Amino acid sequence: MPTLHAAAQILYRVVLALTVAAGAVDAQGLASVALPKSGDDPTAIYHAKVREELTSALQKWVESLEHRDSVATASVYAANARSLLGAEGEAITPLGVVRQLYKTPLAGAQLAITVDDFDMSGDLAFVTCILVAKTGDSDAAPKLVRSVFVFRFDDWRNQWKVREQVIHW
């Protein structure tokens, strides 16, 4: 039978191992999903994390358009991306989508984006946004552009990519 001192050493090692394991999981950003606090809904936590990632991706998209950085703009899209943009017709590749976007006054404009609605199902996420575009002279009123983005999770790159977009320009 182990002595009290030996039992305390074993307990110390177990606590230390759990602390190290929890730290490693937390460092990966998975602690709140893998080890939720009591009362937390893991699904809600995951949805909030995905919404944050998608909002960040859309913000990078806006910044790439403002700076006319076509490479950064194209990097947001999946290889089989589709885009419907006003009367421009349909674009079906990241290069086609970028060409389509850069034909509009959106490229180089002052832009802001606000996520209106968000939902997800499996590896797809649906985001409805309002894009505020200041394209003309300083006295011109900005345009409010309703937009819908469908993101798909890219397992290979471990990131969300725009699969489809509809921008009511």
The single-letter DSSP state of residue 112 is E
| Helix (H/G/I), strand (E/B), else coil: 80 | strand
Q: In which band, very low, low, confident or very high, does the pLDDT at 150 lie, cut at 50, 70 and 90? A: very high
135 pLDDT above the threshold of 60: yes
Query: Please, which residues have CB within 8 angstroms of residue 34's CB and are 6 or more apart in sequence?
Result: 25
Confirm if 107 and 68 have CB atoms less than 8 A apart. yes
Per-residue pLDDT band for 33 (boundaries 50, 70, 90) equals: very low
Least confident of 45-54, 60-69, 91-100, 131-140: 131-140
Nearest C-alpha neighbor of 113 from the set 165, 40, 46, 39: 165
- Kindly tell me if the per-residue pLDDT of 21 is higher than 70: no
At residue 48, φ and ψ (nearest 5 deg) are -65, -40
Task: Give me the mean pLDDT over the 77-86 stretch.
Answer: 93
Per-residue pLDDT at 160 exceeds 90: yes
pLDDT at residue 16 greater than cutoff 70: no
Token representation of residue 163: 């699969």
Mean pLDDT score of the chain, rounded to an integer? 81
Query: In this predicted structure, what is the pLDDT of residue 3?
Result: 58
pLDDT of amino acid 10: 59
- Over residues 91-100, the pLDDT tens digits come to 999 999 999 9
The pLDDT, as a whole number, for residue 29 is 47
Write down the pTM of the prediction.
0.72
**How far from 72 is each of 18, 31, 43, 60, CA to CA, in Å?**
41, 31, 31, 8
